[in-house]
Amino acid sequence: MDESRGRIVTEVFRNLKIRGFRVSDPDLTGSICFDMMARRDNEKYFLKVLYNVDTIRKDAASELITLAKVTGSAAVVIGERTGAGKLEHGLVYYRHTIPIMSPETFVDYVDGEKPYVFSGPGGFYVSLDGEKMRSAREEEGFSIGYVSGKIGTSRRSISLYESGTAATVEVFLRLCDLLERDLRRSIDLLNVVRSIEPPHMLNSIDDTLLRTISNKIVGSGYTMNIMRKSPFDAMAGNGTETLIMGLLELIGRDYERASAMRNIADILEDDLLVVSRNHTEKTQISGCPVVNVKELVDYCDRGELGSLVERKKRGL
């Protein structure tokens, strides 16, 4: 980890800990798409930390979004600068649909001071409370045409603003002045994630064994999300529970990856299962329940995956 990024990681980790978050080890083995997972009650974040946020790759951003959606978390990239300069305090930026903040802005966010201005093509924009704007206009007795004339924009734009479309900072200030209301809508990172549709990756699995396991689990009534840049290989869910899964060779380096999986599962309070490619008598590795492929397939064929997970949690 380079010095500049390491400094930001340490700063974010410390600020989260002193605010009562449970935070994963910031040096997670096998993780590229995120550096930390943090939780405070039901408030959950997957965080990627970069010095220059322009270096975030699309595939890593897509996986970060998938992780967040599956676990009901927010996904955030935290950094200090872009190629154009330093990230401004209080602004939200985006790359590959992922929200990006400076460390200071993120700390403000978790302290309850949510930003409402974001950087977009051509300038800075404000998320508008469209319903509040419409109510204020009607209370004042203003028509859409009257407002558009006063603001200096089209009637269609006013209609779009009332539907929740963001406005430039200049237009936002003119609207607030005319309607005598604060019309801003704070940016909710969880809602940002909910609005994004992640890519479907099951059809692109290049590992034959992982494909077989995925098909069996899907056939058992679970959804399956493949991970390529995380400590684990997949996350499965049945609508009420989430299962973190790793496919390991049970050799030396996998003990560290298993430990990273255990770290994340503990914070998320989700079930965890390590699938061994080889037959093994081991019942766990680094605190992770272990099952061999044949046992997993047999239970899936009987529609008893949930029963298998419970047995392994009890060390059976």
| 3-class SS letters over the chain | CCHHHHHHHHHHHHHHHHCCCEECCCCCCCCCCCCEEEEECCEEEEEEECCEHHHCCHHHHHHHHHHHHHHCCEEEEECCEECCEECCCCEEEEECCEEEECHHHHHHHHCCCCCCEEEECCEEEECECHHHHHHHHHHHCCCHHHHHHHHCCCHHHHHHHHCCCCEEHHHHHHHHHHHCCCCECCCCHHHHHHCCCCCCCHHHCCCHHHHHHHHHHHHCCCEEEECCCCCCCEEEECCCCEEEEEEECCCHHHHHHHHHHHHHHHHHCCEEEEEECCCCCCCEECCEEEEEHHHHHHHHHCCCHHHHHHHHHCCC
Asked whether 90 and 117 are in contact (CB, 8 A), the reply is yes
Please identify which residue in the block is written with the tokens 């001071």: 113
Most confident region among 121-130, 196-205, 281-290 by mean pLDDT:
121-130
Closest CA relative to residue 92, chosen from 118, 70, 71: 118
Look at residue 250 and tell me whether its pLDDT is greater than 60.
no
Closest CA relative to residue 66, chosen from 274, 234, 246: 234
Q: Dump pLDDT digits (tens) for 148-200.
A: 999 999 999 999 999 989 999 999 999 999 999 999 999 999 988 888 876 65
- Look at 48 and 254; give whichever has higher pLDDT: 48
Give the integer Cα–Cα distance in Å for 181 and 135: 10
Across 289-306, average pLDDT: 88
pLDDT at 251: 46
Look at residue 26 and tell me whether its pLDDT is greater than 90.
no
Domain positions in the chain: 3-115+189-194, 125-179, 206-313
pLDDT at 205: 57
- Look at 18 and 296; give whichever has higher pLDDT: 18
pLDDT at 156: 95
> What would the two tokens of residue 246 be?
């790793």
Give the integer Cα–Cα distance in Å for 151 and 169: 12
Give the integer Cα–Cα distance in Å for 274 and 312: 10
Give the integer Cα–Cα distance in Å for 57 and 292: 34
- Per CATH, 125-179 and 206-313 having the same topology is answered no
Look at residue 253 and tell me whether its pLDDT is greater than 70.
no
pLDDT at 209: 76
Look at residue 28 and tell me whether its pLDDT is greater than 90.
no
| Architecture label for domain 3-115+189-194 | 3-Layer(aba) Sandwich (3.40)
Asked whether 44 and 67 are in contact (CB, 8 A), the reply is no
| Architecture label for domain 125-179 | Orthogonal Bundle (1.10)
| Chain centroid offset of residue 198 CA | 11
Across 74-87, average pLDDT: 93
Give the integer Cα–Cα distance in Å for 222 and 306: 10
- How many residues make up the chain in this entry? 316
- Among 144-158, 245-259, 299-313, the minimum mean pLDDT is found in 245-259
- Look at 91 and 1; give whichever has higher pLDDT: 91
For the domain covering 206-313, report its CATH number: 3.40.1350.10
pLDDT at 45: 97
Look at residue 204 and tell me whether its pLDDT is greater than 60.
no
Residue 77: pLDDT band by 50, 70, 90 thresholds?
very high
pLDDT at 279: 60
Q: Dump pLDDT digits (tens) for 81-136.
A: 998 899 999 999 999 999 999 999 999 999 999 999 999 888 999 999 999 999 99
pLDDT at 281: 67
Give the integer Cα–Cα distance in Å for 248 and 232: 9
pLDDT at 149: 95
Q: What is the mean pLDDT of the chain?
A: 88
Give the integer Cα–Cα distance in Å for 122 and 258: 45
Asked whether 9 and 54 are in contact (CB, 8 A), the reply is no
Residue 7: pLDDT band by 50, 70, 90 thresholds?
very high
